[in-house]
């Protein structure tokens, strides 16, 4: 609000600042922003430029324009500030009338190894939220780099090989999906509830249904969902199982497992509801259950069902099937190709980030031992 007052209770509006790279926006970013929004009334998010990210961290996967667009579409974000400085200053908080800055409990440093939040921490204008375990941009880039080693394969024999690859990399085999062998995300019903809109369509609403993998949620998906949202009043997204995606997209997919993809899609402001593990074929029963008025698909190829049937034959027969042209032809495969083309750069980026974090953790452990005596204390990454 312009006067800085929450008129519902006459209290000062609390404005919260978050900033970051937001490269390959995933549900971990969204969860951090959800927690930040819960600490105030307005959430302002600063997004760094490509130049700043390259200088301090290494080349981003997505361009700054793509990243600005993705963050704007996260449903807890009220305002995006383009080209935010990499080191968060009190001047930045004051400029946007923010009371404090919020960040996850992971480590963020400059190219010189300086904590990017040291200034706001010293001023007492810093709050910390819990980082979402099991996902990060570094992790997702790592998963895509593994594609060139044929890390994901179909069938029991190949799956065993994939697990052996993952074990060699030190990942936790207990948290894997069979089709995204290096995922360490452990879903809970509570997390899905936190991301859900909790809304149901009104009797007069025109319900729109779309379905797909929505793997590595990106601006191509975003533009399509915006176009689908415009076709009605309530947008439902059906997400196919890992097994189904693996069948029609090939042995290296999906990169993110079903529950990761559910949260990524639920975080989008255009989406009202998600069907978890939706059938590949849009049946009459599905349409009647959700009172679907229109079924949409993008201009990408529609693979035949397992029985070689057209999965959209029912809505086509009913005259309520639409092909939408969102003006954006980006695919998940395009993102993977970006990574593979610049494989060495991204491997170097991931290695540098890991070394910086290890160095900081060792320093923190040493300082802790100095202050508390030589007790048995271990510091682990979040």
Please give the Cα distance from 65 to 67 (Å, whole number).
5
Please give the Cα distance from 184 to 5 (Å, whole number).
42
Lowest mean pLDDT among 15-19, 181-185, 197-201, 258-262: 181-185
- The SS3 of residue 212 is strand
Q: What is the CATH number of the domain that holds 240?
A: 3.40.50.620
Q: Are residues 215 and 302 in the same domain?
A: yes
Prior bond to 254 cis, omega within 30? yes
Q: pTM of the entire structure?
A: 0.78
Q: What is the reported pLDDT for 163?
A: 34
Give me 233's structure tokens.
């009043």
Q: Are residues 74 and 208 in the same domain?
A: no
> Do the domain assignments include residue 181?
no
Q: Look-up: residue for tokens 């010293």?
A: 122
For 264, counting Cβ atoms within 10 Å of its Cβ (0-12 exposed, 13-18 middle, 19+ buried), the class is: buried
> Do the domain assignments include residue 200?
yes
Percent of the chain whose pLDDT exceeds 70: 73
Q: What is the phi-psi region of residue 80: left when phi exceeds 0, alpha when psi lies from -120 to 50, beta otherwise? A: beta
Please give the Cα distance from 297 to 322 (Å, whole number).
6
Q: What is the reported pLDDT for 257?
A: 87
Please give the Cα distance from 134 to 145 (Å, whole number).
17
Q: Are residues 54 and 88 in the same domain?
A: yes
Encode pLDDT of 150-197 as tens digits. 444 444 444 333 333 333 333 333 333 333 444 455 667 888 888 998
User: How many Å separate Cα 64 from the centre of its chain?
Assistant: 16
Average of per-residue pLDDT values in the chain? 82
Q: What is the reported pLDDT for 178?
A: 39
Q: Calculate Rg over the CA atoms of the chain.
A: 22
Residue 115 DSSP label: B
Q: Is the pLDDT of residue 69 over 80?
A: yes
Q: Are residues 328 and 197 in the same domain?
A: yes
Q: Are residues 147 and 23 in the same domain?
A: no
Encode pLDDT of 115-164 as tens digits. 899 999 999 999 999 876 555 656 656 665 565 444 444 444 443 333 33
Q: Are residues 302 and 347 in the same domain?
A: no
Lowest mean pLDDT among 29-33, 102-106, 153-157: 153-157
Closest CA relative to residue 212, chosen from 259, 235, 253, 245 = 245
Q: What is the reported pLDDT for 344?
A: 65
Is the C-alpha dihedral spanning 217, 218, 224, 226 positive or negative? Answer: positive
Please give the Cα distance from 146 to 152 (Å, whole number).
8
Q: What is the reported pLDDT for 222?
A: 97
Q: What is the reported pLDDT for 377?
A: 39
Encode pLDDT of 45-55 as tens digits. 999 999 999 88
Give me 216's structure tokens.
């590595």
Residue 46 DSSP label: E
Q: How sure is the predictor about 8, in pLDDT bands with cuts at 50, 70 and 90?
A: low
> Do the domain assignments include residue 182?
no
Residue where a domain stops, chosen among 175, 198, 230: 175
* C-beta of residue 281 within 8 angstroms of C-beta of residue 309: yes
Q: Which residue has the higher pLDDT, 103 or 146?
A: 103
CA angle centred on 195, ends 194 and 201, rounded to 5°: 110
- What is the average per-residue pLDDT within 13-22? 96
Q: Which residue has the higher pLDDT, 310 or 155?
A: 310
Q: What is the reported pLDDT for 255?
A: 86
Q: Is the pLDDT of residue 101 over 80?
A: yes
Beta-carbon contacts of 42 under 8 Å, excluding residues fewer than 6 positions away, are 13, 14, 15, 16, 78, 79
- The SS3 of residue 273 is strand
Beta-carbon contacts of 29 under 8 Å, excluding residues fewer than 6 positions away, are 20, 22, 71, 74
Q: Look-up: residue for tokens 């302002």?
A: 44
Q: Are residues 78 and 18 in the same domain?
A: yes
> Do the domain assignments include residue 239?
yes
Encode pLDDT of 334-361 as tens digits. 988 887 777 666 666 556 666 665 665 6
Please give the Cα distance from 346 to 324 (Å, whole number).
34
Q: Are residues 244 and 351 in the same domain?
A: no
Q: Are residues 266 and 356 in the same domain?
A: no
Q: Are residues 55 and 107 in the same domain?
A: yes
> Do the domain assignments include residue 180?
no
> Do the domain assignments include residue 86?
yes
Encode pLDDT of 243-256 as tens digits. 999 999 987 788 88
Q: Which residue has the higher pLDDT, 235 or 350?
A: 235
Q: Are residues 239 and 316 in the same domain?
A: yes
Q: Is the pLDDT of residue 83 over 90?
A: yes
Q: What is the reported pLDDT for 190?
A: 84
Domain count, the chain: 4
> Do the domain assignments include residue 354?
yes
Encode pLDDT of 265-299 as tens digits. 999 999 999 999 999 999 999 999 999 999 999 99
Residue-number span of the structural domain to which 151 is assigned = 137-175
> Do the domain assignments include residue 288?
yes
Q: Are residues 374 and 286 in the same domain?
A: no
């Amino acid at each position: 609000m312009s006067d800085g007052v929450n008129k519902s209770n006459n209290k000062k509006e609390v404005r919260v600042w978050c900033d970051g790279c937001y490269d390959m926006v995933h549900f971990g970013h969204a969860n951090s922003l959800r927690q930040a929004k819960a600490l105030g009334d307005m959430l302002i998010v600063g997004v760094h430029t490509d130049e700043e990210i390259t200088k301090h961290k290494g080349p981003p996967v997505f361009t700054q324009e793509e990243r600005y667009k993705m963050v704007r579409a996260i449903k807890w974000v009220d305002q995006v500030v383009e080209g935010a400085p990499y080191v968060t200053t009190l001047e930045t908080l004051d400029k946007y009338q923010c009371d404090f800055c919020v960040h996850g409990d992971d480590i963020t440093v400059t190219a010189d190894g300086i904590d990017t939040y040291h200034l706001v921490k010293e001023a007492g204008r810093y709050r910390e939220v819990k980082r979402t375990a099991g996902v990060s941009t570094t992790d997702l880039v790592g998963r895509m780099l593994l594609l060139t080693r044929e890390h994901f394969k179909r069938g029991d024999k190949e799956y065993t090989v994939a697990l052996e690859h993952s074990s060699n990399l030190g990942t936790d085999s207990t948290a894997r999906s069979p089709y995204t062998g290096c995922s360490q995300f452990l879903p809970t019903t509570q997390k899905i509830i936190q991301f859900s809109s909790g809304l149901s369509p009104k009797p007069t609403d025109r319900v729109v249904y779309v379905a797909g993998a929505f793997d590595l949620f990106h601006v191509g998906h975003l533009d399509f969902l915006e176009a689908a949202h415009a076709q009605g009043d309530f947008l439902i997204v059906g997400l196919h199982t890992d097994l189904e995606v693996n069948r029609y997209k090939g042995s290296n997919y999906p990169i993110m497992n079903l529950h990761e993809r559910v949260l990524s899609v639920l975080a989008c402001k255009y989406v009202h509801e998600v069907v978890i593990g939706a059938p590949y074929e849009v049946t009459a029963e599905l349409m009647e259950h959700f009172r679907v008025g229109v079924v949409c698909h993008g201009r990408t190829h529609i693979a035949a069902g397992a029985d070689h049937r057209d999965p959209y034959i029912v809505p086509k027969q009913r005259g309520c099937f639409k092909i939408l042209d969102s003006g954006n032809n980006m695919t998940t495969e395009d993102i993977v190709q970006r990574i593979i083309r610049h494989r060495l750069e991204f491997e170097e980026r991931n290695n540098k980030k890991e070394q910086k974090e290890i160095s900081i953790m060792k320093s923190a452990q040493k300082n802790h031992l100095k202050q508390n005596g030589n007790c048995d204390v271990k510091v682990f990454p979040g």
